[in-house]
Structure 1
Amino acid sequence: MTDTLQKQRIEEALEALNKNCASTDRSMYPGFHLAPPSGWMNDPNGVIYHQGYYHVFYQHHPLSPEEGKLMYWGHARSKDLCTWEHLPIALAPSIEEDKDGCFSGCAVVNDNDELCLIYTAHRWGGAWGDDSKVLEVQAIATSKDGIHFDNKQVVLSEPPLPEVTHFRDPRVWREGNDWLMIIGYRTDDKDGKGVGKVALYRSTDLYNWTFESTLAEDDELLPPGKRSYMWECPDFFPLNGKHVLLMSPQGLEDENKERFLNLFQNGCIIGTFKDGKFTRETEFEELDFGHEFYAAQHIDGPDGRTLLIAWFDMWANDKPSQKHGWAGMMSLPRDLHIEDGLVRMTPSPELVGLRANAEPTTIDTTALKDGEERSLEITDGPLQELRVEIDLKATDAQEFGLEFHVDKATGASTRLYVDRKLNRLVLDRERTGNSPAQSAFKRTCKLPEGDVLSLHIYLDRPSIEVFIGNEKSEGLYSMSSRTFPNPAQKDAHLFAKGGSLALKDFKRWTLKDTFHFEPLKYGA
């Protein structure tokens, strides 16, 4: 009965999705980022490499571009991280425990080589959206073909403490002969203010779980705003001889207009993990310094690399594409490593497959004079990759960088520049056409130490991603922001103010539009 209801709901949702896709406006739609073919997308859920494919499941409302009252799991896969194949919806609400949504979770392969989705089954105990009355348990669904999932069962119905209500986002992995699982949860302090935590569980079969400990938690002694009240979407994995606890804390106030500027953050703590105990070695650090980067999850690559993908959006920000029939997208996949006690991210090397031509267009690297602007002469479309090296030692300009999405008639642009007074790199989308409205339009990160500033930039129709480094390392920081420029905003140029700008190298590639969609059928 349960599987019959899920099949019915998926078939109805796919019928609506296919119909909506025919009328979806793709003028702002990403050319090479994973996004829903129509409807709503948020957190990446089961991200896993399985049988030759990278799979990304995601929170999905297929019936409209708004966050739905019933949340489903969308599904896409890729062999090369460049072209994504959209697959039928994987999960739909169909049992009493998930009647209000199949919330975030993960994917693992069990001992029978079946792909398993472990997720939070969600119900509202009161009115829809009333966070004070949340009923959340953990459930599992299995698949023999990696596409159709059934046999839903609740596998964990009780939180670690009876007073816990928020209890969600399981992440599971194999550790020796056992399975381990972490789940984000919240308790309240004596004043009723939340404290974010992560619970650790153990199982031998994926169905029967025992609470081991609280793996990590925020400091209850800190005042609200200096601590987070909930740790969402936790992830935990080994990297370069350490362990990384990745999570999305909620409730942190911004620090000096430099850190924690988004509504919610995404970042990590590095430490060691032995005998079920996590020992911290670092404080919480954000992973990305742009406007939108949330709920990131790692992927164990087939060659030993550790990759990561995140929801390229943020709850508080406007979503201009909703009027076009879609909302939400994923970040580009990134490779992870630890350097100088921090997790660093670089674009996954597979992304060279996006280049329309192997040979780049070389940009003039003659030094710019004070007040000069130099056109990048991008006449072959909005999908671009740029690699820029700036000689900081020979540059004396007080403000210098690039402007994209320029419209001289309206003054619109997206600005990426160095402010020498602040000694920071600034990403400013205040004047970017349809840029999502919010309280702060600028994001900054500190300049890397060294004589060279390297910028590796990906421009898609609605977004910009920047990987920042020096002469030694590429991915010291990153900034990811949605921009949604108007079609008339086509020009781009370099600029220098208050002195000269010295360039060492500048290359550009036009990228391919890899979006493809065929009407989906549920089949078996």
Structure 2
Amino acid sequence: MTKLEKARDYEVKNQTDPNRQPAFHLTPPVGWMNDPNGFSVYNGKVHLFYQYHPYDLRWGPMHWGHQSSADMIVWDRMPVVLAPDQPYDQDGCFSGTAIATDAGHLLVYTGVTKENGVEVQNQCLAIGDGRVYRKLDRNPVVRGEMMPAGFSRTDFRDPKIWKEDENWWMVVGSRDEERGQIALFASDNGMDWKYERVLLAAEDGFGTMWECPDFFRLDGKSVLICSPQNVEAMDYTFHNGHNGVAFVGESDAMNFQGVKAQPLDYGFDFYAPQTTTLPDGRQVLIAWMSSWHSPIVASHQTWSAQMTLPRELSLRNGKLIQQPVRELETWYKETIRYKQVPIQEPQSVAGVEGRYVDFTIRFSKPATSEFTMELAKDERYGTRFTVDPKKGIVELDRTFSGLKEDVITIRRAKIPAEGIQTIRVVMDLYSIELFINEGEMVMSCVIPTAETANQIVFGSEEPIEIDLDFHTIDAPAIRAKREVLA
């Protein structure tokens, strides 16, 4: 039995019951999952691959797991497509991307091996039909020695591939002796590649390695996304550790010199974001909703991690805006709308409760004193979101969400200059995603809270009125439609 056959057999026999997993956030059938890979559209379906170690809840030799979807809400489990089974990838098939071509669905990934006892990373290709893929005989197609002297051969990974007109392009995460950077490669045919230049490099110590680059055009601008590692906190803008950031260029040229990084998520659990372009033109982002430094796995889980809800991207005043994909709305079960609800003492609102919900708060005027929401709450548990205009911060606190590990429990960020106008909350079984001011600021959070904790409580230091649009999501119907492995 080959390594790929072994992985496929294992995941079929050990897959988790979908009823014990989140309803509309992609999760692996079993084992460990990290970075999204190959987020793309092929043969009428959205495909998402991911870093995958089916045999354990911890990181291990990397495979590529696979799921597909017609609407990015119901995710069908597909067989694992890549296993580390060749001399050039025997230590792991690391992250990469995918693109639809006339010859088939082309995957580009990082093959990891060792040379003289030192880990070496190169870029490789595989092609398939949306279910079965074969690695190309010419692998690896982009080698580290193509780059200038002093560039790391060990930290050279996570290729993003795209085509414009007749030209093929690839960006790869890289580093030199001191800092993270993004290397740019070009090709006439998608197979034969040459090194072009460093597209952008870290300044002021902003990350020792830049992982998971993504490049796309949006509203006449060029956008570069990457994930800097080992960042020091900067005035609530970037948090300690590993971040996801965007650079929005001033034009559609591939030039990001002097462009400031924008944080993509201010919460706990967001890394390695990747985007794809849908047939209707929407640019959609998805990310690993976890953290290398404080992963959260409930005690009963046979799987580790989930992806964020896919998010539609747009630009507003030069800032990248994120909103949940509109397809979520087709799964609304019940809707309640309130106008001018008075809030002061901690209180619930009739009918506003649940763990599979999507609701939006609108303030009649920006709060001038502390406003709180407690989510996934009962007598024992609760995750609190606080708006504190006097301190000029928002705070997300999951201290009492049921955690039993010494992990990060509080995250703070600055209130936008115009104040807090709207807060949209999307909750699934083990997650909370907050979209503030129509997606100007996003905070993602994983919680291990028991599903029975379903209260939602609002409070305000001073009297305030809110409008509230509240939707329950039909989790049983989503789960029932999901295809499992057979």
Q: Do the two structures share a fold, i.e. TM-score over 0.5?
A: yes
Alignment correspondent of 1:122:
112
Alignment correspondent of 1:191:
none
Partners of 2:234 and 2:116 in 1: CA distance: 35
1:266 and 2:244 aligned: yes
Partners of 1:519 and 1:242 in 2: CA distance: 40
Which amino acid is 1:13 matched to? A
Partners of 1:67 and 1:206 in 2: CA distance: 31
Secondary structure class of the residue paired with 1:353: helix
Paired residues for 1:250-265 under 5 Å? 250-256=229-235, 258-265=236-243
Alignment correspondent of 2:445:
481
Partners of 1:418 and 1:116 in 2: CA distance: 46
1:59 and 2:32 aligned: no
1:314-338 Cα shifts (integer Å, max 9, x gaps): 1111322365110011111111111
Give how far 1:295 is off. Answer: 0.6
1:154 and 2:140 aligned: yes
Query: Normalization by structure 2: what TM-score?
Result: 0.92
Runs ≥4 in structure 1, deviation > 4 angstroms? 24-27, 124-127, 272-275, 375-379, 449-452, 516-519
Partners of 1:446 and 1:281 in 2: CA distance: 23
Which amino acid is 1:453 matched to? Q
Alignment correspondent of 2:34:
42
Alignment correspondent of 2:430:
462
Secondary structure class of the residue paired with 1:515: helix
Alignment correspondent of 2:14:
20
Alignment correspondent of 2:362:
389
Counterpart contact for 1:47–1:56, Cα < 8 Å: yes
Partners of 1:341 and 1:233 in 2: CA distance: 22
Counterpart contact for 2:247–2:262, Cα < 8 Å: yes
Partners of 1:259 and 1:126 in 2: CA distance: 41
1:232 and 2:211 aligned: yes
Which amino acid is 1:465 matched to? E
Give how far 1:377 is off. Answer: 4.4
1:80-110 Cα shifts (integer Å, max 9, x gaps): 1111111111111111110011000110123
Which region of structure 1 is more displaced relative to structure 2, 238-247 or 446-455?
Answer: 446-455
Give how far 1:444 is off. Answer: 2.6
1:374 and 2:374 aligned: no
Change (3 A) 1:103 1:376: farther
Counterpart contact for 1:312–1:480, Cα < 8 Å: yes
Paired residues for 1:350-365 under 5 Å? 350-357=327-334, 360-363=335-338, 365=340
Which amino acid is 1:374 matched to? S
Alignment correspondent of 1:130:
none
Which amino acid is 1:384 matched to? V
1:240-259 Cα shifts (integer Å, max 9, x gaps): 11101100001210123x13
1:420 and 2:384 aligned: no
1:265-320 Cα shifts (integer Å, max 9, x gaps): 00111115677x51435311111111011110111110111111111111111322
Counterpart contact for 1:320–1:436, Cα < 8 Å: no
Alignment correspondent of 1:336:
313
1:489-515 Cα shifts (integer Å, max 9, x gaps): 232211122x11221334332442423
Give how far 1:363 is off. Answer: 4.8
Which amino acid is 2:11 matched to? L
Secondary structure class of the residue paired with 2:475: coil
Q: Which of 75, 82, 91 in structure 2 is aligned with 1:100?
A: 91
Partners of 1:246 and 1:71 in 2: CA distance: 23
Counterpart contact for 1:272–1:280, Cα < 8 Å: no
Paired residues for 1:316-327 under 5 Å? 316-321=293-298, 323-327=300-304
Which amino acid is 1:71 matched to? M
Secondary structure class of the residue paired with 1:17: helix
Secondary structure class of the residue paired with 1:261: coil
Counterpart contact for 1:377–1:492, Cα < 8 Å: no
1:416-458 Cα shifts (integer Å, max 9, x gaps): 12112222222111111137642x4222333345476211111
Task: Give the paired residue count.
Answer: 479
Give how far 1:376 is off. Answer: 5.3
Secondary structure class of the residue paired with 1:374: coil
1:502 and 2:481 aligned: no
Partners of 2:485 and 2:194 in 1: CA distance: 39
Change (3 A) 1:281 1:484: same
Partners of 2:421 and 2:67 in 1: CA distance: 36
Secondary structure class of the residue paired with 1:155: coil
Partners of 1:429 and 1:519 in 2: CA distance: 32
Counterpart contact for 2:62–2:84, Cα < 8 Å: yes
Which region of structure 1 is more displaced relative to structure 2, 158-167 or 307-316?
Answer: 158-167
Partners of 1:518 and 1:54 in 2: CA distance: 15
Q: Which of 144, 155, 172 in structure 2 is aligned with 1:183?
A: 172
Partners of 1:436 and 1:390 in 2: CA distance: 36
Change (3 A) 1:281 1:270: farther
Change (3 A) 1:461 1:13: same
Change (3 A) 1:476 1:151: closer
Alignment correspondent of 1:212:
196
